[in-house]
């Protein structure tokens, strides 16, 4: 009887590699769907909008307190109970901003000039300095409302003081 040594091949077969790759693809797809990156990006932009709205209103109220209860000139000139888009454009501010019907923008750059804001924030998606896609309303009792015009995922982003 002769004893022969059997040499076992090392490594994986093609079938084993294909099965492992298929499992990795299925797991990666499940994780991608579970994380839903589009929703995460929308939530991130909405968080930025919320932060911007609070910053604008806080700067306006701080300016008002520092100036003996007097509003910034751009705010005191607003028609009561009318929504204005915040920006520097002379006309065209009624487009792209839900609920805004005034063609003129509310120019709040005085807040940045006076040091209450670093710069007037603009919407993270498509806002510009000329048309920020944020709106401001002053009512008869003096309450200011700042809102994001185009929040995503049916969110409502508005702050009043």
Question: Residues near 137 by Cβ (< 8 Å), separated by ≥ 6?
Answer: 78, 81, 82, 83, 84, 144, 145, 147
What confidence score (pLDDT) does residue 66 get? 96
What confidence score (pLDDT) does residue 3 get? 66
Residue 103 Cα to chain centre, angstroms: 23
Mean pLDDT by 10-residue block, N- to C-terminus, for the chain (161 residues)?
68 91 94 86 96 98 95 93 93 85 92 96 94 95 95 94 94
What confidence score (pLDDT) does residue 1 get? 56
What confidence score (pLDDT) does residue 35 get? 84
What confidence score (pLDDT) does residue 2 get? 61
What confidence score (pLDDT) does residue 12 get? 84
Q: Are 159 and 148 in contact (CB under 8 A)?
A: no
| Radius of gyration, alpha carbons of the chain | 28
């Amino acid at each position: 009887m002769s004893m022969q040594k059997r040499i076992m091949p090392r490594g994986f077969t093609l079938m084993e590699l294909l099965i492992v790759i298929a499992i990795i693809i299925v797991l990666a797809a499940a994780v991608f769907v579970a994380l839903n990156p589009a929703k995460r990006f929308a939530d991130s932009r909405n968080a930025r909008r919320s932060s911007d709205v609070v910053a604008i209103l806080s700067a306006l109220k701080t300016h008002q307190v520092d100036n003996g209860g007097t509003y910034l000139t751009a705010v005191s000139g607003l028609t009561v109970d009318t929504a204005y888009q915040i920006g520097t454009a002379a006309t065209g501010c009624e487009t792209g901003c839900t609920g805004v019907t005034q063609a003129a923008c509310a120019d709040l750059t005085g807040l940045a000039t006076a040091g209450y804001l670093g710069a007037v924030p603009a919407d993270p998606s498509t806002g510009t300095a000329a048309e920020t896609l944020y709106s401001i309303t002053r009512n008869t009792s003096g309450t200011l409302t700042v809102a994001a015009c185009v929040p995503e995922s049916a969110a409502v982003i508005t702050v009043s003081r």
